[in-house]
Amino acid sequence: MSKKITVPSFLQPEIAQVGELFHKELYSSSKLLTLITRYIIKTKGKQLRPMLVFSAAGMVGEIQKSTYSAAYLIELMHTATLVHDDVVDDAEKRRGFFSINALWKNKIAVLVGDYFLSKGLLYAIENNEIEILRIISHAVKQMSEGELLQLEKARNLSSTEEIYYEIIRKKTAALFVAAMQAGAVSTGACSSEKYNTLTEIAELLGIAFQIKDDILDFSTQALTGKAAWNDLKEKKMTLPLLYTLQQLPEPQAKQLRKALNSHKNKYENLKRIADTITKTGGLEYSTQKLTELCNRAEALCTTFPANQYNATLKELIKFVKQ
């Protein structure tokens, strides 16, 4: 993955308009809430999901007022879930910046996330974006289920590749799917066939995105924006780890699980586990799966007319694939 996703020049005005909507709609008379909202806007990420909204819309029809609403709502829900995720994970940093819970503690972080969710609900109702609200609500439900399933499996480090894909399909890919579905329906001109194809592309891309994140857990903090082996520390069943546990003889797999649960010599312990995963081929296997998913997504893009929106989606797939 390249170091940075960049918004193409033709989409910059649209993304900027979503940012203005984000700033305007989140205004509050509460000084604390205003301070935190400004901090969140200042530290916002790559705008990947709004780009997916506009890409999907432009691949099936014309950009409408509802498309901007869809991009705003997707970004708002994404931000709310990240704030809550940081509380669940007890994360101190997000994209190299201090998390909301690290600066203002868990209670305030949870309430801020709730505020964002409620603002999204109100905006959708007031602007009659019921179908987009349905799509996003379904995604948030799936994301919660995925997080809970991941926590359940992390307790005893038990999982299968099938369960792993179920987790990331819900935890990560669901919002990618919602972004492209919302973009498609916002045009009012999307056939069921195109809608289903965009859904498949989004799911493939979302799963690939999570696998890439799994692989980057073995990279340096400078590249990923988070400490190396963070997923190992949290005992998350990533694909490289899962593959390694499946390949090792049971006695060695048992030792690896025990090492993951150990609190002794943390750095040296994690390094040994990471070395085992690398030697067993966990990273190579994950990269192969990542490439397969991206190739399938790229092939589906060719079923749509070639235009700048399609080209943007292909670039996003290429970004994840690299």
What is the residue-wise DSSP string for 5-30? ----GGGHHHHHHHHHHHHHHT--S-
Per-residue pLDDT tens listing for the chain (322 residues): 445 778 999 999 999 999 999 888 988 889 999 999 989 888 877 789 999 999 999 999 999 999 999 999 999 999 999 999 888 878 787 777 888 999 999 999 999 999 999 999 999 999 999 999 999 999 999 999 998 888 887 766 667 889 999 999 999 999 999 999 999 999 999 999 999 999 999 999 999 999 999 999 887 543 444 567 888 887 788 999 999 999 999 999 989 888 888 767 677 888 888 999 999 999 999 999 999 999 999 999 999 999 999 999 999 999 999 8
What's the predicted TM-score (pTM) here? Answer: 0.92
In contact, 58 and 309? CB cutoff 8 Å: yes
Torsion of CA 185, 188, 189, 192, to 10 degrees: 40
Please report which residue ranges of 26-160 form alpha helices under DSSP H: 31-42, 48-60, 65-89, 100-126, 130-156
Q: How many residues are present in the chain?
A: 322
Question: Which domains are delineated in the chain?
Answer: 11-190 (1.10.600.10), 192-304+317-321 (1.10.600.10)
* Residue 130, token pair as written in the block: 């019921």
* Helix-, strand-, coil-residue percentages of the chain, each rounded to 5: 80, 0, 20
* Residue 182, token pair as written in the block: 């919302």
Burial of residue 183, with CB atoms counted within 10 A of its CB: 0-12 exposed, 13-18 middle, 19 or more buried: buried
Cβ neighbors of 138 (< 8 A, separation 6 or more) are 174, 178
